[in-house]
Amino acid sequence: MFTLRFARVGRGGRRLIALLGAAVLLPGVLAPRARALEVVELRLPVLETSFTVKVSELGDPDRMFNGNSDLAELDRASHGSLGRRMTELFRTPLPVQTTALVQQAVGTPLLEQALLAASTLGSIDGLPVKLDAGNQLAVALQKAAAGGELTVVGFLQALPGHSATLDLERALNGLRRLKDQQTRAAQITTTRQPQAVDPALSRPGPLTPVRSTATVVVKHRPRPLELVVLQPSSGGNGRLVVISHGLWDGPESFEGWAQHLASHGYTVLLPVHPGSDSTQQQAMLSGKVPPPTPSELRYRPLDVSAVLDAAAQGRIAGLGRVAADRVVVMGHSWGATTALQLAGATPSSHRLRERCRKLDDPDRNLSWVLQCSFLDSADRAGLADRRVIAVAAVSPPLNLLFDQRAGHAMTARGLIVTGSRDWVVPPDPEAISRFEGTEENGHNLVVVRGGDHFNMRGPLQNGGGPLRALLVAWADAAFAAGAAVTPSPNTPPLLTPQQGWGETTMPMVLLTASDRRR
């Protein structure tokens, strides 16, 4: 049995529905004097049949009840309940910012990649996929909004052609692919002995953290960088950690990590990456600025290096004495990619050019939308900073951005952390099978049972989250290693199964070379 289920959604959800729905339905090119879209067809797997919806009926309940489409028949069979819910959903006003947002995004690699990925689910009248679909999306939205209130059905009516097709089999294949990309991580975390828990690492340390903010003037951006600073009120160890946030995020999501580290003696700096932080996202959704540009791949590590310069030169107000020549960098998602760049992993366009257009690639996942948007900047984003001695990269998008040899060329020790339930940056192929053999150079990989792309972050509200003990243990080991922290063949890893950096509610497994071969 095939079931359609609809739910009421808020403004943010409606905005997402508008964009993703448009991306699914608009992979083709608008032809001059094209007819308005009349029918939406859902192709059903297994049954080898389809379910048609007349766009005109979606906007007119009377036509819905009296029409002869499949939807009208189902509506009569459900005594009108299906029709009411369908028309309510499709006639709901969309945020007025939707059109401005798409106009700002037209021509940007991020939107182009999102449209390309979504186009695998359907087509309009069989037209081929083109990367200028963003322009056509903007035209259709403008046409739909010209008469006043913008609705989903109005947008559908503004699309060209006769019919649109949504291939549910392809959609289901995408879900199966995601499950496959998580299977190995789930097996690892349920069949291996979880890491022990040491309360001395998971509990706050003996020192009292103090929070402040500062700004740093940098050469590569028009405005000073904003910083959040967490440091012990006294008795600190003088060691510096920098945390880089992910796409459309900010320091607030990681102040729990920072506070926990500061309570154990570390000084922690959390820069705001202005081209891809939460403020940029809000401005983008209001149609004021475009999505992050490919240049941000280069600017983000420059942000961190500029912060280290400022710390070394005493240009960060309120910052105590720290050693800025030996630093640990931590990051989440895009921030994790930034950390790997600083550790000496050099991005390359080679795999991007080879695989970004392969829509049926079995390794394709949501993070490829971001990675493929870096095609034009990847070859100029090698920005290793020798002051960085170790990095902790949590859920890093890396499979396409870095060549296979990148892990072996790193100049700082690397810790990769992946979650068994991460659907944004799935554990395979982005982590487990990616840095094959890098353990020989002393790098570590940890798989977190039940970890997804968001619950491994560390805001203050959750006390630093499940990774707090792991991050303290990693920083402690990196600084304690001295000169031996530098990656080299057959060097001992910084983390071992005997250490107590685990967590009770989300067990962790340290992946070894023998585990990868199983």
- Residue 249 has a pLDDT of 93
pLDDT tens digits, 210-244: 999 999 999 999 999 999 999 999 999 999 999 99
Q: How far, in Å, CA of 361 to CA of 73, rounded?
A: 38
Q: 79 to each of 64, 75, 76, 196, how far by Cα in Å?
A: 12, 6, 5, 58
Helix (H, G, I), strand (E, B) or coil at 505: coil
**CB of 26 within 8 A of CB of 115?**
yes
User: Under a CB-based contact definition with an 8 Å cutoff, are residues 50 and 41 in contact?
Assistant: yes
Give per-residue pLDDT as tens, 311-365. 999 999 999 999 999 999 999 999 999 999 999 999 999 999 999 988 788 999 9
- Cα dihedral: 102, 103, 107, 108 (round 10): -60
Distance CA 402, CA 340 (A): 10
State the sign of the Cα–Cα–Cα–Cα dihedral 295, 301, 307, 308. Answer: negative
Handedness of CA 320, 323, 325, 326 (dihedral sign): negative
pLDDT recorded at residue 93 = 75
What are the structure tokens assigned to 205, written together?
Answer: 């340390």
β-pairing verdict for 122-124 and 49-54: unpaired
Q: Tell me the three state secondary structure of residue 174.
A: helix
What are the C-alpha distances in Å from 327 to residues 57, 209, 518? 62, 19, 35
Up-side HSE of residue 323: CA atoms within 13 Å toward CB? Answer: 14
Torsion of CA 355, 357, 358, 363, to 10 degrees: 50
Q: Which helix (H) or strand (E) holds 231?
A: strand 225-232
How many CB atoms neighbour CB 395 within 10 A?
Answer: 32
383 neighbors 301 (Cβ within 8 angstroms): yes
CA geometry: angle 195, 201, 204, nearest 5 deg = 140
Contact criterion met (CB below 8 Å) for 101 and 145: no
pLDDT value at residue 197: 95
Asked if residue 466 has a cis previous peptide bond (ω within 30° of 0), the answer is no
- Tens digits of residue pLDDT in 127-152: 444 445 556 667 777 777 776 777 77
Query: What is the pLDDT, as a whole number, of residue 127?
Result: 42
User: Cβ distance 98 to 150 under 8 Å?
Assistant: yes
Q: According to the model, what pLDDT value does residue 154 have? A: 77
Vertex 257, ends 255 and 260: CA angle to 5°?
105
Local confidence band at 9 (pLDDT 50, 70, 90 cut-offs): very low
Q: What is the pLDDT of residues 108-133, one digit of tens each?
A: 565 656 665 666 556 655 444 444 55
Q: How far is Cα 295 from Cα 281, in angstroms, rounded to an integer? A: 16
- Four-point Cα dihedral 371, 376, 380, 386, nearest 10: -10
- Collect all residues with Cβ–Cβ distance below 8 Å to 108 and sequence separation of at least 6: 134, 290, 291, 293, 373
Give residue 156's pLDDT band: very low, low, confident or very high (50, 70, 90).
Answer: confident
**Side-chain-side CA neighbours of residue 66 (13 Å):** 4
Q: What is the mean pLDDT of residues 74-89?
A: 69
Percentage of the chain with pLDDT > 90? 51
Q: Say yes or no to pLDDT of 31 above 50.
A: no
Residue 131's pLDDT is 44
Portion of the chain with pLDDT greater than 70, in percent: 72
pLDDT-derived band of residue 490, with 50, 70 and 90 as boundaries?
Answer: confident
Q: Starting from the edge strand earliest in sequence, which strands make up the sheet with 239-244, in order?
A: 209-216, 225-232, 267-271, 239-244, 323-332, 388-394, 413-419, 444-448, 508-511
**Domains of the chain by start residue, with CATH:** 11-174 (no CATH), 193-517 (3.40.50.1820)
**Of residues 204, 205, 199, 196, the one with CA closest to residue 500:** 196
Tokens of 139: 């035209």
Least confident of 78-87, 95-104, 186-195, 389-398: 95-104
Answer whether residue 301 shows pLDDT above 60.
yes
Distance from CA of residue 63 to its chain's centroid? 42
Higher pLDDT, 283 or 16: 283
pLDDT of residue 45: 52
The answer to whether residue 309 scores a pLDDT higher than 90 is: yes
